Amino acid sequence: MDPFKKVELGNTGVTVPRLGLGTAPLSGATLGDGLYGGTAHDEAVRILDRAQQLGISYVDTAPLYGTGRAEARIGFSAYTSVDRDSFVISTKIGRVLDPMPDGVAAQDDPDGIGELVAVNSWTRDNVLRSLEDSLKRLNTERIDIVYVHDPDVETYGKEQAINEAFPTLIELKEQKVIKAIGCGMNEWQMPLEFIQRFDLDIILLAGRYTLLDHSGLSQFLPECVNRNVKIAVGGPYNSGILARDLSKPVTFDYEPAPDDLVTQARELTKICLEHHVDLKAVALQFVLAHPAIATAIPGAQSIAELEENIKMVQQDIPATLWTSMREAGLIPQNAPTPS
Tell me the CATH class for 16-180: alpha beta
Helices and strands (H and E) in the chain: how many = 11, 14
Per-residue pLDDT of the chain (339 residues; tens, 9 = 90+): 999 999 999 999 999 999 999 999 999 865 544 333 468 999 999 999 999 999 999 999 999 999 999 999 999 999 999 999 999 999 999 999 999 998 899 999 999 999 999 999 999 999 999 999 999 999 999 999 999 999 999 999 999 999 999 999 999 999 999 999 999 999 999 999 999 999 999 999 999 999 999 999 999 999 999 999 999 999 999 988 999 999 999 999 889 999 999 999 999 999 999 999 999 999 999 999 999 999 999 999 999 999 999 999 999 999 999 999 999 999 999 999 998
* Residue among 111, 103, 105, 48 nearest 81 (CA): 48
Residues 6+ apart with CB under 8 A from 192: 219, 220, 223
Residues in the chain: 339
Instruction: Report the distance separating Cα 280 and Cα 275, nearest Å.
Output: 13
User: Of the residues 36, 58, 65, 79, which is catalytic?
Assistant: 65
Longest dimension (CA), the chain: 60
Domain coordinates in residue numbering, the chain: 16-180, 186-329
CATH of domain 186-329: 3.20.20.100
Predicted TM-score (pTM) of this structure: 0.95
Exactly one of 79, 92, 133, 150 is catalytic; name it: 92
The yes-or-no answer on residue 209 being catalytic is no
65 included as an active-site residue: yes
Query: Rounded to whole angstroms, how far apart are CA atoms 99 and 105?
Result: 9
Q: How far is CA 48 from the centre of its chain?
A: 15
Domains 16-180 and 186-329 share a fold: yes
User: Do residues 167 and 198 touch, judged by C-beta distance below 8 A?
Assistant: no
